[in-house]
Structure 1
Amino acid sequence: MREFNTVVAPEVGFEEEELRAHLVAKKLISQEEHIQVLRRSIDARQRQIKINLRIAADTAPISLEFVEYQPREWDVRSCPPVLIVGAGPAGLFAALRAIENGLKPIVLERGKDVRSRRRDLAAINKDHIVNPESNYCFGEGGAGTYSDGKLYTRSKKRGSVRRVFEILVAHGAPEDILIEAHPHIGTNKLPKIVTALRKTVIAAGGEVRFDSKVTDFLLEGDEIKGVTLADGTKLEGVATVLATGHSARDIFQLCQQRNILIEAKPFALGVRVEHPQQIIDQIQYKCADRGPYLPASSYGLVAQTTFQQAERGVFSFCMCPGGFIVPAATAPGEVVVNGMSPSRRDSKYANSGIVVAVELEDIPAFAKHGPLAALEFQAAVEREAWQYGGKTQQAPAQRLVDFVDGKVSTSLNETSYQPGLASIDMHDMLPDFIADRLRQGFKAFGKKMKGYLSNEAQIVGVESRTSSPVRIPREAETLAHPQIKNLYPCGEGAGYAGGIASAAMDGEKVMEAVVRSWKK
């Protein structure tokens, strides 16, 4: 087998028969050879868009092989238990790693299984009813399952990205994620994959318990023995892994109440901006119609802003081409928005978080809350959004140019956000330093992408769950909490990951640390 790079047109790069004919015509392969795309990326920097490919060719048929993960049967029913709090990517991948190393994972999820969650999501969208235990953030699969499914990560040092992708493919994800430069699964496909991961855990003798909210820790001196659930059940294990996600405020509050060290952490807060997807395509692809081969285009933007002599970044976050804005509140009395895309990315809308970096010195009025300072600031802004939205899940909104110019929009555009929008002056709702920096950022983005700053776009608030506003510290070598023995903070909620892939890698990394400690 040999490998080579080539550059082709979109209609060739995404069609297997066209690609093969092109390679034969260019004498890059013979008629007898088989091919397999190993890597694919889009280069849209010039008017003539190109597809960069890494190709394998051989006289024998080629398939994408697993090189870092080999599925096999395990039996850990009689092995020592390890408790994993949270069934998001960090928790599920920690469970798989526990099984491979001779521990029985007991995964405790406060919410419902992935299928049952759908009824609660429908209730948020249609009836404006927020179930605080089952919503877009809480439930099997975590916040990523019903948000988007983007897998791109820069966290290469955290673990093996390839291994994570291979595990996902082994559980039903499309093989394309192994070759795309910016892989994406889609919220319509993720539920089946999450279900398959759970079945693997259970088949090996592990447990996944739903409606199992942790309400207390079983502490003996400086060591955690286990947890107490809302129904009074007490569980013990060789270690407790906290993989609760960035929105489990009650866990942070419990840590503070039990004198477990936590720290306030900088995060980012802002809005979702929604454009017609056609506008973003025209800007990025430099053509009126992207045609049948090119995917819905995305963007990444960043600008430096100054407010009261302090510089902060404003940047795009979780950009969802061909996607939808969804209500991501986790409690009544708050409005939070997030973005998601189906696998086809075929919605007529593009949306992205545009957020401002928030440092602790930006919010001095909340310093009295100590390690919960950033969390309380975050919650206060979400409550304001709920008030301005009419005390429902309607989201405050404003046309983009109107926001920059300080005008209330007399009407709003159509939107993908099902609960509906309320036209307000977003400067009234947002803290001054957030609103002013957003205004500066949008002006800068309008210069970088001609046509971006338009009243055909609108901002929708508030985008506040970008990352955890609290860090649960851990030691660099052992990955255990510095004060409490056998407590292992993990994933986004502890402040050590920022997406599906990085959280999954962190889950594996933490469980490996648990195993090392257990085997001593």
Structure 2
Amino acid sequence: MSTLVQITALPHEIEDRHLLLNRVVQKSNIRKDDISDWRIRKRSIDARKKPVRLNLQIEIWKNGEEKVLIPTFVPQNVTDSKKIAIIGAGPAGLYAALRAVEAGLKPIVFERGKDVRSRRFDLAKINKEQIVNPESNYCFGEGGAGTYSDGKLYTRSKKRGNVLKALEWFVEFGADPDILVDAHPHIGTNKLPKIITAMREAVIEAGGEVHFNAKLTDFKLNKDRIEAIEINAEKWYSFDEVILATGHSARDIFYLLHDKKIKIEAKPFALGVRIEHQQKLIDHIQYHGDDENPYLPPASYSLVEQVEGMGVYSFCMCPGGIIAPCATEQEEVVTNGWSPSKRNNPYSNSGIVVSIEPSDLPNFRPDDPFVCLDFQKEVERKCWEAAGKTQQVPAQRMKDFVEGKVSKDFPRTSYQPGIVSVDLNKVLPDLIARRLRKAFVQFGKKLKGYYTNDAVLHAPESRTSSPVLIPRNPETLEHVQIEGLYPCGEGAGYAGGIISAAIDGINCVDAIAKKYAQV
């Protein structure tokens, strides 16, 4: 049994193990000679005032206490086991497959896009040639949206499931063990492809299957039970259990479910812009001028403001990051952000979005499941048209936007396809633009220097979460109408990032395993 001790340290002290151990001894009253081993268990930055400090949780083992290392991933051979279908190979689908081989179930994964390496060529076409492949892009393909659009591993909700297990599996397959220590862990887009590949290989080695370029195109139902699925409008496969982990941008799945009279609902989501500052500015603001400290990582921020009854907040903040084109169709534009593992790009970007309830929208009808999706699509298309019908995006300097001025020029942007000067007040819906204007002024009061005309808005940031909910039974996790169908992850409305999606994939497999145990 280990002991946990809380201490603080200055950033440069983190590498002085002798000093840290002495501080632990002083805080715990445990003699140094009685300590056989120790490690940093948790680490977070306290930048509320100067000097910036680190909060450290130190785990110590005293003489005679055994330091037990428990395997985190223990697969079974599932070659001849009961089969379950998993639709989608994003975080929810991959973690569902990993959990299935642990639970003695054979996962058959169908991913509409390409494997993680092949996706890179299609991403290059978006950036360089502005050509969108609707089946292989930043959202679709092995690893899902998280693989090539960031790698932040933070979830605010600890009630979803075992966060530590989800993180430990990342380490098992190649992530830096520091993700188990940092308060806001991050892998980095450059490192995720290798990790995702290792996960897939582990599933296949255990007897599971992973199929790429395999798009779900139809369901076959027997009364209120799933019976079979159609892939690529060609071949039918029979399954008793189907985990639907298709992601928040698989709009065709929402339409398919609706056409099959399978219940879906409009769901609250958020929409706004992605803002880009110089990272040096954010460091200077957050670290109170100590922005040249080599022991401090690139700074992040979290902002929220209530404006006219709606929340306006920062989303997917990427220190040292890049803004990426995330459209899934040719006639739309979408932005997102990502960071490499070192977060060493000169730019800082974040979504700044407005919370939207279905009833906030002018075309709202209680029986319309697509009111939020239609609004999202309309904004993405209007931005595409405003920027010249390419993958360039409409843009405006921050103060110019608030003051209603078209920007005459721009600083350099990390958004590779390019930006076009537009008055975003005339492109974005007024309920969004009006609240963003007020929020930016307030954010500038919270972070001195944040409200600057050197910051550039890129529009839109629209894929924050699914605008459609696929309702499920909270106990069995099956669809409220269809037995054997498990809506899962972000696309179904039950997750908001890599870790929460991964945990939801695990939870759905656990529900299936529990169901079989009771048969």
Name the TM-score class by shorter chain: over 0.9
Shift of 1:369: 8.4
Amino acid of the residue matched to residue 171 of structure 1? Answer: F
Query: Mapping of 1:338-357 within 5 angstroms?
Result: 338-357=336-355
Q: Deviations over 1:296-351 (max 9, x none)?
A: 00011011111xxxx11100000001100000000110000000011101111000
Counterpart of 2:43 (choices 14, 18, 40) is 40
Query: Mapping of 1:158-237 within 5 angstroms?
Result: 158-237=160-239
Counterpart of 1:121 (choices 120, 123, 133) is 123
Shift of 1:362: 2.0
Distance 1:385 1:410 in 2: 19
Counterpart of 1:80 (choices 48, 70, 82) is 82
Listed as ranges, the gaps of 5+ residues in structure 1 are: none
Q: Aligned pair 1:391/2:394, yes or no? A: no
Preserved CA contact (<8 Å) 1:470 1:494: yes
Preserved CA contact (<8 Å) 1:480 1:488: yes
Preserved CA contact (<8 Å) 1:275 1:458: yes
Q: Deviations over 1:442-472 (max 9, x none)?
A: 0110111110000110100100000000000
Distance 1:123 1:177 in 2: 32
Shift of 1:73: 4.4
Q: For residue 256 of structure 1, what is the aligned residue in structure 2?
A: 258
Q: For residue 410 of structure 2, what is the aligned residue in structure 1?
A: 412
C-alpha change, 1:57 and 1:257, in structure 2 (3 Å) is same
Distance 1:85 1:65 in 2: 37
Q: For residue 10 of structure 2, what is the aligned residue in structure 1?
A: 9
Q: Aligned pair 1:325/2:323, yes or no? A: yes
Shift of 1:222: 1.3
Shift of 1:35: 3.0
Distance 2:332 2:69 in 1: 44
SS of residue in 2 equivalent to 1:137: coil
Preserved CA contact (<8 Å) 2:74 2:102: no
Q: Aligned pair 1:429/2:430, yes or no? A: no
Distance 2:130 2:399 in 1: 29
Shift of 1:358: 1.0
Shift of 1:59: 7.0
SS of residue in 1 equivalent to 2:513: helix
Preserved CA contact (<8 Å) 2:154 2:499: yes
C-alpha change, 1:463 and 1:209, in structure 2 (3 Å) is same
SS of residue in 2 equivalent to 1:334: coil
Distance 2:66 2:52 in 1: 28
Amino acid of the residue matched to residue 418 of structure 1? Answer: Q
Shift of 1:413: 1.5
C-alpha change, 1:71 and 1:22, in structure 2 (3 Å) is closer
Counterpart of 1:483 (choices 472, 481, 484) is 481
Distance 1:336 1:287 in 2: 34
Distance 2:21 2:421 in 1: 54
Counterpart of 1:276 (choices 275, 278, 285) is 278
Matched pairs, number: 512
Amino acid of the residue matched to residue 355 of structure 1? Answer: V
Shift of 1:434: 0.4
Amino acid of the residue matched to residue 55 of structure 1? Answer: I
Counterpart of 2:399 (choices 398, 401, 416) is 401
Preserved CA contact (<8 Å) 2:311 2:354: yes
Preserved CA contact (<8 Å) 1:34 1:61: no
Query: Mapping of 1:301-320 within 5 angstroms?
Result: 301-306=303-308, 311-320=309-318
C-alpha change, 1:25 and 1:269, in structure 2 (3 Å) is closer
Q: For residue 54 of structure 1, what is the aligned residue in structure 2?
A: 57
SS of residue in 2 equivalent to 1:365: coil
Identity %: 55
C-alpha change, 1:402 and 1:212, in structure 2 (3 Å) is same
Q: For residue 382 of structure 1, what is the aligned residue in structure 2?
A: 380
Query: Mapping of 1:291-310 within 5 angstroms?
Result: 291-306=293-308
Shift of 1:2: 4.1
Preserved CA contact (<8 Å) 1:366 1:377: no
Shift of 1:62: 11
Preserved CA contact (<8 Å) 1:111 1:212: yes
C-alpha change, 1:75 and 1:507, in structure 2 (3 Å) is same
Farther off after superposition, 270-279 or 55-64: 55-64
Distance 1:492 1:369 in 2: 22
Q: For residue 141 of structure 1, what is the aligned residue in structure 2?
A: 143
Alignment RMSD, CA only? Answer: 1.9
Preserved CA contact (<8 Å) 2:73 2:102: no
Distance 1:265 1:368 in 2: 11
C-alpha change, 1:40 and 1:316, in structure 2 (3 Å) is same
SS of residue in 1 equivalent to 2:374: helix
Q: Give the alignment's TM-score, normalised by structure 2.
A: 0.95
C-alpha change, 1:93 and 1:331, in structure 2 (3 Å) is same
SS of residue in 2 equivalent to 1:228: strand
Farther off after superposition, 42-51 or 94-103: 94-103
Distance 2:287 2:66 in 1: 32
C-alpha change, 1:52 and 1:251, in structure 2 (3 Å) is same
Preserved CA contact (<8 Å) 1:277 1:350: yes
SS of residue in 2 equivalent to 1:145: helix
Q: Deviations over 1:141-177 (max 9, x none)?
A: 0000111111111221111001111111101011001
Amino acid of the residue matched to residue 488 of structure 1? Answer: Y
Amino acid of the residue matched to residue 245 of structure 1? Answer: G
Preserved CA contact (<8 Å) 1:80 1:237: no
SS of residue in 2 equivalent to 1:244: coil
Listed as ranges, the gaps of 5+ residues in structure 2 are: none
Counterpart of 1:335 (choices 296, 311, 333) is 333
Amino acid of the residue matched to residue 198 of structure 2? Answer: A
C-alpha change, 1:366 and 1:422, in structure 2 (3 Å) is farther
Farther off after superposition, 146-155 or 316-325: 146-155
Preserved CA contact (<8 Å) 1:36 1:63: no
